[in-house]
């Protein structure tokens, strides 16, 4: 038994493991019994509406906030009882990265170098190159844009060669170009440095594009853990039995609707007269049948699109949508 | 030990890289030189016999600029902990694998060094200005008097700097730390002639009252008594700071 766990820990033990993490403030449980793992090289999203406990969780992982119950293991070291060893493997950006504005980027990084003296001068250069800030190192941080500060934040987090990067709302306040840049950096880092990333956000689209797995929490409790399958490749071969939602934009909407209602291949879910659209629920293999039927009625078809259940829809479903947390 | 001294270097750089860093030293320099000039010019009888050491004792002592040193030390170290909270840099500071006690101790060490440097700077400059304006002839005061004057100013400054430091940790507010520190410096001059008051910090803060055959501010006080009271307060301030800082949730 013992032998087996040892074997496992070498191969695919989680880099970061939350075990029943709970935080109580007063009589309110901000986070309760939260457990999940992050494995090597994985990008995991921590998703939840505002006030769900994302920031508290992230701060507990970094040891900034004490836990009421549970523990966090970072490469097997407990953040509670062996903080120094555990934190060694963590790099973090918590909310907006804040630096000493009156110092240059270089001086700021040197501050962190002095706190972990094993970091070499070369490592600083390497990290600065990775985030593309070579030109800005001699400038004072107060002259940096938010995007540059984010990059310096990443550099700061990578300095001591951590195994896992934890990021709290890393794209808050960035413009679309900045968000995209950030995403590219993070993917790059996960791939090239083999670092696991745990990123919290309430921005669903972003999570969809960045993460391979999302952990959804609400009111401090785990709602669900979902894998996000890689991008568009998925739609090519959907499950044969599963009904999918497809939008048809057609001419002569009423007539089209009547035609399809007589057909038991598809179910009309909704009619959208403004756009002249029909939303159907049907199986993948039945799409040609529907097209044939419409064609036989000489209905013009302008557009056929699969309506994918987006992460957003699912998210609202999981978290009970309309209630403001 | 080496890693701790690197932390102190960090804290020192955080102060020294600010553009306002030279201001307290400049204020002390201007004060030491300007007063020397004024006294030489218009001091008349009073200063005709004075020497460089006399002037140094006057300036560095509590009757001169001892209080000013305390105020400058408070103003420029009040933000050393609360500033990190205010700027949000505390988050990065506390996840670098250095214990919170070490981080806070490095900050306090830097604040002590700063206060010490101010006191030494003021004393050296006073002596230089005194030598220039009044010459090196032997006056009334000796080196021992300089030591007593400078030393008691230093103790005074350290006590109130530590009080402001604690307020900064407890309230996370630079304003509160500075306000309480400065107000305490103001109140320290007031002596309420009641026996309970001798256990209060204020009447004990100025140790120079015991030199030159001076008498205690309140009956029953002595040099040893005051040192004990000051030491107790110092320990209290530091314990409160460290306990709070270690336990605090960084939200």
Q: Which residue of B has its CA nearest to A104?
A: B17
DSSP class of A283? E
| Closest residue to A66, CB basis, from B19, B95, B249 | B249
pLDDT of residue B15: 93
* Residue among A90, A102, A156 whose CB faces B17 most closely: A102
If pLDDT is split at 50, 70 and 90, which confidence band does B10 have?
very high
Dihedral (C-alpha) B4, B5, B6, B12: value to the nearest 10 degrees? 120
Nearest CA in chain B to A88: B97
**Interface check A62 vs B, CB under 8 A:** yes
Q: Does the CA dihedral B120-B123-B126-B130 come out positive or negative?
A: negative
Contacts of B247 in chain A (CB under 8 A): 66
With CB atoms and an 8 Å threshold, state whether A98 touches B92. yes
Domains of chain A, each with CATH number or no CATH: 2-232 (3.40.50.300), 233-311 (3.30.70.100)
Contact across the interface for B92 and A112, Cβ inside 8 Å: yes
Mean pLDDT, rounded, for B68-83: 91
CB contact under 8 A, B96 and A112: yes
B89/A99 CB distance under 8 A: yes
Question: Could you tell me if B81 and B245 are in contact, meaning their C-beta atoms sit under 8 angstroms apart?
Answer: yes
Mutation pick from A68, A114, A138, A161 vs chain B, by most beta carbons of B within 10 Å, is: A114
pLDDT tens profile B122-166: 989 988 988 888 887 767 778 888 888 888 999 999 999 999 999
Query: Cα torsion for B172, B178, B180, B183, to the nearest 10°?
Result: -170
Residue environment code for A194-222, b if the CB has 16+ CB neighbours within 10 A, otherwise e? ebbbbbbbbbbebbbebbbbbbbbbbbbb
CB contact A284 to B (< 8 Å): no
A56: distance to nearest CA of chain B, Å?
A: 8
A64 at interface of B, judged by CB pairs closer than 8 A: yes
**Could B89 and A112 be called an inter-chain contact, meaning their C-beta atoms sit closer than 8 Å?**
no
Closest residue in B to A156 (Cα) is B92
Q: What distances in angstroms separate CA A207 from CA A226, A320, B91, B156, one per listed residue?
A: 12, 19, 24, 57
Best CA proximity match to A163, nearest among A45, A80, A77:
A77
Question: Which residue positions in chain A have pLDDT lower than 70?
Answer: 1-12, 229-242, 309-311, 319-325
Length of chain B: 251
The reply to whether A92 touches chain B by the CB within 8 Å rule is yes
pLDDT at A166: 93
Quote the DSSP letter at residue A223: E
User: Does any CB of chain B come closer than 8 Å to the CB of residue A111?
Assistant: yes
Q: What ipTM does this complex have? A: 0.86
For residue A44, which of A193, A207, A188, A206 has the smallest C-alpha distance? A207
Would you state the pLDDT for residue A236? Answer: 41
Measured CB to CB, residues of chain B less than 8 Å from chain A are 2-3, 6-7, 9-10, 13-14, 17-19, 87-89, 91-99, 247, 249-251
- CB atoms under 10 Å from CB of A238, counted, come to 15
The whole-angstrom separation of Cα A117 and Cα B143 is 43
Contact B97 A65 (CB under 8 A): no
Q: Residue B209 to residues A181, B63, B147, B188, B194: CA-CA distances in angstroms?
A: 66, 10, 14, 13, 18
Torsion of CA B108, B114, B116, B119, to 10 degrees: -140
Q: Is B212 left (phi over 0), alpha (psi -120 to 50) or beta?
A: left
Continuous H helices in chain A = 2-11, 54-61, 83-87, 105-115, 121-130, 146-158, 176-192, 204-210, 253-261, 287-296, 311-319
Q: Give the nearest partner residue to B89 out of A66, A98, A115, using CB atoms.
A: A98
Q: What is the pLDDT of residues B185-219, one digit of tens each?
A: 988 878 888 888 888 888 888 888 887 667 777 88
Which residues from chain B sit within 8 angstroms of residue A146, using beta carbons? none
- Residue B232: what pLDDT? 96
pLDDT of residue A240: 54
pLDDT at residue A67 in the model: 93
At residue B55 the predicted structure's pLDDT band, cuts being 50, 70 and 90, is confident
Cβ–Cβ of A101/B94 closer than 8 Å?
no
């Amino acid at each position: 038994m013992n032998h087996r766990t040892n074997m496992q820990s070498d191969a695919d033990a989680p880099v970061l493991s939350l075990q029943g993490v709970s935080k109580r403030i007063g009589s309110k449980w901000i986070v309760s019994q939260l457990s999940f793992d992050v494995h090597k090289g994985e990008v995991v999203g921590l998703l939840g509406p505002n006030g769900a406990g994302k920031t508290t969780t992230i701060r507990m992982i970094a040891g900034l906030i004490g836990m009421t119950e549970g523990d966090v293991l970072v490469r097997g070291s407990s953040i509670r009882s062996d903080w120094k060893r555990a934190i060694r493997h963590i790099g973090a950006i918590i909310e907006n990265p804040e630096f000493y504005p009156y110092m240059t980027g270089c001086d700021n990084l040197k501050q962190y170098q002095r706190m972990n003296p094993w970091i070499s001068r070369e490592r600083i250069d390497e990290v600065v190159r990775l985030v593309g800030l070579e030109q800005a190192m001699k400038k004072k941080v107060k002259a940096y844009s938010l995007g540059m500060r984010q990059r310096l934040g990443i550099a700061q987090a990578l300095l001591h060669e951590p195994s896992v990067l934890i990021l709290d709302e890393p794209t808050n306040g960035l413009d679309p170009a900045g968000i995209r840049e950030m995403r590219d950096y993070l993917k790059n880092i996960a791939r090239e440095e083999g670092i696991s990333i745990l990123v919290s956000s309430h921005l669903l689209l972003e999570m969809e594009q960045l993460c391979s797995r999302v952990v959804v929490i609400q009111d401090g409790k785990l709602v669900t853990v979902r894998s996000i399958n890689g991008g568009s490749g998925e739609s090519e071969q959907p499950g044969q039995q599963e009904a999918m939602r497809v939008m048809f934009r057609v001419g002569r909407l009423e007539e089209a609707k009547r035609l399809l209602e007589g057909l038991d291949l598809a179910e009309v879910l909704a009619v959208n007269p403004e756009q002249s659209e029909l939303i159907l629920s049907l199986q993948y293999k039945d799409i040609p049948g529907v097209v044939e039927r419409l064609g036989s009625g000489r209905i013009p078809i302008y557009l056929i699109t699969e309506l994918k259940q987006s992460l957003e829809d699912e998210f609202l479903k999981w978290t009970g949508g309309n209630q403001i947390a | 030990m080496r890693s701790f001294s690197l932390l102190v270097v960090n804290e020192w750089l955080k102060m020294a890289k600010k553009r306002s860093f030279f201001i307290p030293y400049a204020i002390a320099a201007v004060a030491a030189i300007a007063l020397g000039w004024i006294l030489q010019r218009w001091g008349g009888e009073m200063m005709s016999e004075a020497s460089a050491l006399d002037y140094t004792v006057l300036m560095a002592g509590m009757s001169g600029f001892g209080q000013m040193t305390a105020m400058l030390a408070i103003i420029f170290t009040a933000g050393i902990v609360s500033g990190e909270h205010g700027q949000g840099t505390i988050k990065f500071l506390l996840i670098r694998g250095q214990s919170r006690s070490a981080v806070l101790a490095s900050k306090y060490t830097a604040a002590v060094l700063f206060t010490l440097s101010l006191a030494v700077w003021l004393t050296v400059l006073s002596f230089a200005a005194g030598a220039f304006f009044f010459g090196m002839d032997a006056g009334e005061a000796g080196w021992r008097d300089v030591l007593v004057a400078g030393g008691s100013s230093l103790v005074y400054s350290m006590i109130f700097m530590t009080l402001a430091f604690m307020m900064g940790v407890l309230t996370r507010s630079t304003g509160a730390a500075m306000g309480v520190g400065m107000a305490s410096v103001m109140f320290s001059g007031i002596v309420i002639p009641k026996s309970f008051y001798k256990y209060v910090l204020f009447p004990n803060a100025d140790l120079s009252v015991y030199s030159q055959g001076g008498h205690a501010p309140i009956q029953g006080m002595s040099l040893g008594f005051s040192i004990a009271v000051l030491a107790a307060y110092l320990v209290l301030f530091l314990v409160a700071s460290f306990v709070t800082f270690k336990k605090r949730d960084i939200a």
